[in-house]
Structure 1
Amino acid sequence: MATYTANQVSINNGSKLVTINSNESPESVSQGDFIQIANYPLAEINRTFLDANSKHIIELVKVWKHSDQISQPAIVVPTTVDFKATVDALKKANILVNDNTQAMQDWQTKLGEVTFRNIDETQTTIKTLKQMESDFNELMARLEAQPEPQPNNNAAWFDADSTWR
């Protein structure tokens, strides 16, 4: 899975600096990622920067020990650190889903309250769907049981010509 590709890069034997001739910005490239230039083995990346001529440069950790490469394609592959962070995030999400599965089922089917575990280890307690429905129905029943308001014949009002009656 490449995080970055460049149509044309150049590097000289004995140098650490890969010049990006095709000017694709290497903003997604991180220290510790690896670059493959043409069909040569992967080389570890130290950093990226702009040179004095505003050319994008990828600096390698070690000098390039292969022949000079001019206008060759290159790809950057993320490090295992990036993969590890992704896997850790997926594991946390999986644990979060698994830990809350029963709470979600209870929220949909039972009366009362349920407690959900949040990703930051805090908890949130809320009424269940059935409890909200029950509370709503109870409120509606109380409102329907109240007598209809009767017009107050002693009340004053303004008529069409703004006379107080």
Structure 2
Amino acid sequence: MLTRQLPGSIVNALWVLVALVVAFGITAVLTWVERDELILSWSKGNPSAREILAEGGLGVLRESPIVPNFLPLAIVSFVVFALLALVLGAFLVDGHGWARLALTASAGFGVLVAVLAVRNHLPTAFLVLSIVTAVLHLALLFFLWHKDTSAYLREF
């Protein structure tokens, strides 16, 4: 069986995927560590939560059933993205052009989510991570549509 040399654009795309998985892992950990800051940030857009916060403080709001449990969502998002990156990265290396399209859609969605996160006035750590992931998604798009990637995928 012949092995082909991966172009630098594919290698770089794979490294960007690894960096995105790490960033999403950090986000999941921060969701646990910065729970109170997330709740306070979330409460700014929820009149009922602001009322509970004003009357009983953060402790009462934290225990309120109206507060979403952000941690399971963050963990599931991390696991799903990590598995998606693994599978689509493997198919990209194998020369499947549809994997590039799926990763492009994922990157576009990632940029959209990052922009929405920045607009929703999240705590500073999440704001920084949102900007970092937006830049990483844009870098992924660059490498996915680089001429060397296109040439590599055309060979199959």
The TM-score bracket by the shorter chain reads under 0.3
Flag the structure with more relative contact order, 1 or 2, with Cα contacts below 8 A and sequence separation at least 6: 2
TM-score (norm 2): 0.27
- Pick the structure with more helix per residue: 2
- Pick the structure with more strand per residue: 1
